[in-house]
Structure 1
């Protein structure tokens, strides 16, 4: 079997991370053609040339092509990966800046900045997905584009074969495995929540990859490596010990909101840091002697995404040797009974050529279920605002968000969001 994969947003400085994973793990995912799609032709050719050198360096037999023509490029693709950023790093910098003027977290996926990104992104992604469906209705769409939960819900609501992927879970799996001194395949997570709003409620050490049963080791991890885990999350160790779970680092925006706001005001936006890294990366990529992903790329973010992507796509396309259990973003369908069926949750699921089936979940503790339900309500309103537009819908979504939730604050944030994003919103 020889597959065709397409990456929309292939001109991203992050693409070489994916290409490196595709090259290393080619036995699981036999790619015949990898097509990189991006409207930025000059940057696309730069990334494409490096991708070809990476494939050649690692002896990958597949070809790498580039295209600015989406419709032609996705024709015949078995899977299409979405990793686009509407407005680029400049829009991200705004998302991370103007909420701080109102005393709110400035972040590209959480709070008011996350809503702005959703409003810009959902219509563009739905247009791309419809064109993919016309070109090949059997193609899977794998969404890396943030906010992953809202974007995946938009895709699935529109009837697309779509699944969302984040690197938080695989990051925890790899770090826990390192602490335990075992292979990552022997670590299975009890991971529950929404994208960027998850908790590890358990960690099972398996006797063999894919084996049933296993031994619960989360208390052991917290006892032996709590300090390292807390430092990695930038959360106080006593909080993690009291909870008895490992929250996603995004929970810090909720658990220590005011502290984070103070830090962001002092440090400046992450977008500015990433933009500087990207310029350095582009200079490195232009070197015709470079045929590996540079170490600097690790500072760009997205660790282990390529491994997660290969595992997911290989399972979906039937090249990975059968079904696999992976943490993905997919339709709830009753797994969390306190949420609507069409909500998108982030949980372990059985993934194979028949699709994605979330595993049954034990009851979610009220401390987590309450916040999950609250943010799900916001996400539903955010999607309605992205699909239908209107200032009142934007205001309602902000008022519903647990990091906003006040009339005056929602009004201020609505005004700023629209002022900074009018050029991207057809209805504004």
Structure 2
């Protein structure tokens, strides 16, 4: 690592999150001696890259910094001799997310970005791309750290570790950050007065909390969460309350995404109502993105606008910057990350990735011991992790039978003929981004499989095979 002239690369640099990333770098200018920032995207994202890149340059200039900000579609040039690489890309852009939501919804299933059928297909599209990125890194910047936010973050980090054989990687999620930002004030504390311990999987974790006298205050926070206070939910999750009796039994706080499993009936009803109104979350985000990029075009805008918080990924970019600063300065900061278990949760295999409180420093992530889960949570966790392993293997190998196994295991997908129909339609809908499944997709097209949801079908036809 070049100690006094860091080269930072962001793949997916045309993302609407990039201004927050630049803001995070500027806040840490004393901790990160940055020389170059490279924002990388693909041809389809060039317009957004140019818009957000121009804004990034304005932000750096306004801060009085001499950093070089480069915009490119040439990933390999960007990666050459990089010190830190962050990933925040979406294969297929937002039209792919719309299909991930609407096709399951058409068949009466939950359609969601990282859960259910949509989450599986986001992994299927993303794993081959991230493995290509890792292959480039092995050649061009073998000493770089990879900070991944590309969703589903835990599964992508698993793929990087297991199939990319890249050890210097940390997976991030903004959900724990939001919990630690909103919960302390519920019990009239600051974050510095509390100790948090998280464990589980990305978008499927639980946490406990202690105060500075050593007293556990988890249930005090739970009580407040059932009051009128803000629960600190991500913008994209419908706020149906958990059952308090269930939380009192587990004596932990589940993450917001557990609603898709603990309150599946209500979350499905809400999602299908949005579907019928042509207002799935991806369709809402498309509108928000359009408005954000209109703001970003303003030549006088040189700061992160407050509207970015509506996008749903608030705080991620700042967490990415903190991870880099913690590694570079060996700060040993407490963060919640996806990393190898290494025995921190004995209920999971030690050589696979899970999400946990960890100390971040020059050695990367050192997970904190969490201990055993009770039977209910242990059962959920082991099912979900094994499902993730099946998904990642299917994504890496193109094994259709494994893909069907993943659909059968997923608690949000009723197993049977309809599940197979959804799998087949989604393979056809995303055919341009699934090279590993080419033979099966050719077979399905020959058999006449088509996308039934009108909106998803129209989006599929926009991109020729």
Q: TM-score, normalised by structure 2?
A: 0.86
User: Are 1:20 and 2:31 matched, yes or no?
Assistant: no
Matched ranges for 1:55-94 at <5 A: 55-94=60-99
Q: State the Cα deviation string for residues 324-355 of structure 1 (Å, max 9, x = none).
A: 22110011233222322332110011221122
| Cα gap change, 1:188 to 1:26, in 2 (>3 Å) | farther
Q: Secondary structure at the match of 2:81?
A: coil
Q: State the Cα deviation string for residues 55-82 of structure 1 (Å, max 9, x = none).
A: 2223344232211111111112111000
CA contact (8 A) 1:234 1:249 kept: no
Matched ranges for 1:77-226 at <5 A: 77-157=82-162, 158-160=164-166, 161-200=168-207, 202-206=208-212, 214-226=214-226
Matched ranges for 1:15-414 at <5 A: 15-39=18-42, 40-157=45-162, 158-160=164-166, 161-200=168-207, 202-206=208-212, 214-227=214-227, 228=229, 232=233, 233-236=239-242, 238=244, 239-267=246-274, 268-317=279-328, 319=329, 322-404=331-413, 406-414=415-423
CA RMSD, 1 decimal: 1.9
| Cα gap change, 1:242 to 1:254, in 2 (>3 Å) | same
Partner of 1:2: 5
CA distance in 2, matches of 1:86, 1:64: 24
Offset of residue 282 of structure 1: 1.1
CA distance in 2, matches of 1:42, 1:357: 40
Q: Which range is displaced more, 49-58 or 105-114?
A: 49-58
CA contact (8 A) 2:157 2:353 kept: yes
Offset of residue 225 of structure 1: 4.6
Q: TM-score, normalised by structure 1?
A: 0.93
CA contact (8 A) 2:336 2:357 kept: yes
| Cα gap change, 1:32 to 1:186, in 2 (>3 Å) | farther
CA distance in 2, matches of 1:121, 1:281: 25
CA contact (8 A) 1:28 1:310 kept: no
CA distance in 1, matches of 2:418, 2:336: 35
For structure 1, the 5+ residue unaligned runs are 207-212
CA distance in 2, matches of 1:242, 1:334: 25
Q: State the Cα deviation string for residues 11-43 of structure 1 (Å, max 9, x = none).
A: 111111111121123223332221111123332
CA contact (8 A) 1:167 1:304 kept: yes
**Which consecutive segments of 4 or more residues in structure 1 shift more than 6 A?**
none
Q: Secondary structure at the match of 1:97?
A: helix
Q: Which range is displaced more, 413-422 or 154-163?
A: 413-422
CA contact (8 A) 2:157 2:169 kept: yes
